[in-house]
Amino acid sequence: MRVLMFGWEFPPHITGGLGTACFGLIKGLVKLGAEVIFVVPKAFGDESHHGFRLLNASDVTMDFMESEHQEFWNKIKYMEIGSNLIPYVGEEEFEELIETKEHQKLEQSKSVFSKNFTFSGKYGKNLMQEVSRYALIASSIASQESYDLIHAHDWLTYPAGIAAKYISGKPLVIHVHATEFDRSGEHVNPSVFEIERKGMEEADRVITVSNLTRQIVVEKYGIDAAKVFTVYNAVEPSGRPELTGIQKHVKEKVVTFLGRVTYQKGPDYFVEAAHKVLKRDQNVRFVMAGSGDLLNRMVRRIAKLKMGTKFHFTGFLAGTEVDTMFAMSDVYVMPSVSEPFGISPLEAMRSNVPVVISKQSGVSEVLQHAVKVDFWDIDAMADAIYGILHYQGLQQMFVRYGKEEVDNLKWENAAFNVQEVYKTVL
């Protein structure tokens, strides 16, 4: 089985869980005997791609006069946005939206495309331009490569997957790691919603990372439930020796939030729960590891609550920094408002850290040895944190059985389930 797969990021150059999930799934598929061509807008040269082909879209040259590519270009939407968009985070405000069904003027084509386009590989203000370019490059790749089916990860690559399907006639599987409803609540960006809906409609099969996400896909996007399948994510073994002897340099217990500091991740609730814990026990420090549009608001709120001496901001962490942070943590909290899955609790449990997670997360569907609370219930969240910190038997139970539980969540198993979905269209 040969798979042409489209993604937007790949380790070690990641912004969230999307690239990590793609890497884990690919390794699982390869282990099961599949051949994978993974296309990314920009490869930096330091990616690990043993056992599969990593194709850099920035290296692809194409002739824009070819009729098959022109036919697809006539169907593309071209948009300019004035703020950052990343896969799990909703847009903030559009400066300009340009939608055309046909680009007939040569100068318009020149302003958007070139025979060789170097993608930034980032989520900047020209993201929608790059999504459109990536889709056009995908049509060229699709006409040159040999494969059995197409697999596109998250909304940024849905147009690329559709382009490849139009060119090749091969079946398209799209993988929904998050929806616009997760990123923005009910205040969805209609343009992103439309890209998602179109991708789901054009797909022969839709894979969602949880039943929570599957329900959104069926109910909010009107997709036939018969073609939507849930395949849970897993966690990649760290591949590093256990971190021992890490110095916290503080005597207090450490409670950690790790993720984007944005609406979806629920940082407000973490701060409010921290305030309640500190009213009962001053022997605790809280860490907010990450960055995002709500960071300044969190700083102001913590200052107002006079928790500055008990609260730390690390900024974005990656790689060994994450492992080190978990090694210093006594409890990990994921208070997400809407989390399609959530790999970070698995990473924490892999590092022997008990976790408190929101019931509004996909990972809560598969974890038994985690404390689950409603994201909005800061009293329950505070009680859970306090209980784990103060009752050694409870902490030991979650550490022991949580580690065993996570060790059984393997990407090879997820890959097997993905292959079973593939078989339904081959």
What counts of helices (H) and strands (E) characterise the chain? 15, 13
3-class DSSP state of 326: helix
Tell me the two tokens of residue 283.
């022997």
The C-alpha atoms of residue 183 and residue 113 are separated, in whole angstroms, by 29
Percent of the chain with pLDDT over 90: 65
Are the C-beta atoms of 363 and 345 separated by less than 8 Å? yes
Q: Assign 122 a pLDDT band (cuts: 50, 70, 90).
A: low
Region of 399 on the Ramachandran plot (φ > 0 left; ψ -120 to 50 alpha; else beta): alpha
Q: CA 213 to CA 215: how far, in whole Å?
A: 5
Indicate the pLDDT class of residue 13, thresholds 50, 70 and 90. Answer: confident
pLDDT band at 73 (very low <50, low <70, confident <90, very high): low
Q: Among 165, 191, 113, which Cα is nearest to 4's?
A: 165
Residue 290 and residue 317 in contact, taking contact as beta carbons nearer than 8 Å = yes
Bond before 12 cis per omega within 30 degrees? yes
Q: Give CB contacts under 8 A, 24+ apart, made by 93-100.
A: 94/189, 94/191, 97/191
Other beta carbons within 10 angstroms of residue 53's beta carbon come to: 13
More confident call, 276 vs 76: 276
DSSP 59: G
Distance CA(135)–CA(281), nearest Å, equals 54
Note the pLDDT of residue 242: 60
Q: How confident is the model at residue 107 (pLDDT cuts 50, 70, 90)?
A: very low
Per-residue pLDDT tens digits for 274-319: 999 999 999 999 999 999 999 999 999 999 999 999 999 999 998 7
- Look at residue 87 and tell me whether its pLDDT is greater than 50: no
Query: What per-residue confidence (pLDDT) applies to 407?
Result: 87
Q: Show the tokens assigned to 315.
A: 């900024």
- In what side-by-side order are the strands of the sheet with 253-258? 311-313, 284-289, 253-258, 331-334, 355-358, 371-373
pLDDT over 60 (residue 78)? no
Question: Is pLDDT of 368 > 80?
Answer: yes
Q: What is the pLDDT of residue 240?
A: 54
Quick: pLDDT tens for 136-193.
899 989 999 999 999 999 999 999 999 999 999 999 999 999 999 988 887 888 989 9
45: Cα within 13 Å, side-chain hemisphere: 1
Above 90 in pLDDT, residue 30? yes
- CA dist., res. 32 & res. 29, Å (int): 5
pLDDT computed for residue 50 by the predictor: 85
The pLDDT score that the predictor gives to residue 80 is: 35
**In 10 A of CB 8, how many CB atoms?**
30
∠ at Cα 10 (115, 408), nearest 5°? 150
Strand ranges of the sheet holding 53-56, from the earlier edge strand across to the other edge: 53-56, 35-40, 2-6, 149-153, 172-176, 205-208, 228-230
What pLDDT score was predicted for residue 132? 86
Question: Are 382 and 277 spatial neighbours (Cβ–Cβ below 8 Å)?
Answer: yes
The residue among 112 and 218 whose pLDDT is bigger is 218
Q: Residue 219, exposed/middle/buried by CB under 10 A (0-12, 13-18, 19+)?
A: exposed
Give ∠ CA 112-116-99 in degrees, rounded to 5. 20
pLDDT at 207 exceeding the cut of 80: yes
Domains of the chain, each with CATH number or no CATH: 2-234+411-423 (3.40.50.2000), 253-407 (3.40.50.2000)
Lowest mean per-residue pLDDT among 2-6, 44-48, 68-72, 345-349: 68-72
CA 53 – CA 34 distance, rounded (Å): 12
pLDDT tens digit sequence for 17-29: 788 899 999 999 9
Confidence of residue 236 (pLDDT cuts 50, 70, 90): confident
Tokens for 14, please give them.
């990641």
How far apart, in whole angstroms, are the C-alpha atoms of residue 209 and residue 4? 20
